[in-house]
Amino acid sequence: MNDLITLKSYMSPHELLVDRSKLESFGIECFTRDEMTAQVLNFYSHLKGGIQLQVKKGDLQKAREILADQVDGETEEKS
């Protein structure tokens, strides 16, 4: 598990779950760091930088593209 890279950080678990579900639907295995800390000691999680969504190093570029497409898609729908 040394090849995990933090893709993004979140301040609340529900925000993380949206992106994690999106990535997993594309077959990208995801891992979280400090998720339990956020649930038990929410204030401490904010001090540590939130919950981290991590992916394998080999999946990093594809994961970035998927999440970038999600943001672009939301922007286009609002226009």
Distance from C-alpha of 23 to C-alpha of 43, rounded to nearest angstrom: 27
Distance from C-alpha of 48 to C-alpha of 11, rounded to nearest angstrom: 10
Structure-derived torsion over alpha carbons of residues 65, 67, 69, 74, reported in degrees to the nearest 10: -170
2 has a pLDDT exceeding 70: no
Domains in the chain (CATH in brackets) are 4-73 (3.30.70)
Write the pLDDT tens digit of every residue in 17-27. 999 999 999 99
Altogether, the residues listed in the chain come to a count of 79
Write the pLDDT tens digit of every residue in 36-52. 666 666 666 666 678 89
Rg of the chain, C-alpha, whole Å: 13
Query: In sequence order, what are the residues at sequence separation of 6 or more whose Cβ sits closer than 8 angstroms to the Cβ of residue 39?
Result: 13
